[in-house]
Amino acid sequence: MIHFTAPLMSAIDTILAVMFYLFTAARAGKARAEFGIAAPATVGHPIFERAYRVQMNTLEQLAAFVPLLWLTAIYPMPVAWIAPLVGLVWVIGRILYQRAYMRDPTTRAMGVMTSGLAIVALLALAIAGVLRAGLGWA
């Protein structure tokens, strides 16, 4: 039987996030080939540009998501599963963002807000966990 701990759930979130990033990279690469956009160009057909922006925006978000997620795993709050749940919300937000942005970039707000609020929540949980551990409240 699997015992779901905060680190294990954070590892699952991390794997899902990286898998999603690899999906966005593959989608951008496929669009680059499909529309004949040779590297290093980052402009060309609108579908390629959307796929590329989704990939790059996801990469930009990963730079904050991964360290914050793991800080919450190392310095958890008393209800340790909350942070990995927020991490899963971030992944879902990125999927919503990708789907909306590829359809029509002006409809990306729900995905942006979902993943953005998840980052803010992880930041708050990380700060609280670090302070709790540093002040000996653990």
In this predicted model, what pLDDT tens digit does every residue of 36-93 receive, in sequence order?
A: 999 999 999 999 999 999 999 999 999 999 999 999 999 998 998 999 999 999 999 9
Element at 98 (helix H, strand E) = helix 82-103
Using a cut of 0.85, tell me whether the model's pTM lies above it: yes
Q: What does each C-alpha distance from 56 to 42, 60, 66 come to in angstroms?
A: 11, 6, 15
SS3 call for 132: helix
Q: How would residue 138 be classed by pLDDT, with cut points 50, 70 and 90?
A: low
Would you say 9 and 86 are in contact if contact means Cβ atoms under 8 Å apart?
Answer: no
Would you say 83 and 8 are in contact if contact means Cβ atoms under 8 Å apart?
Answer: no
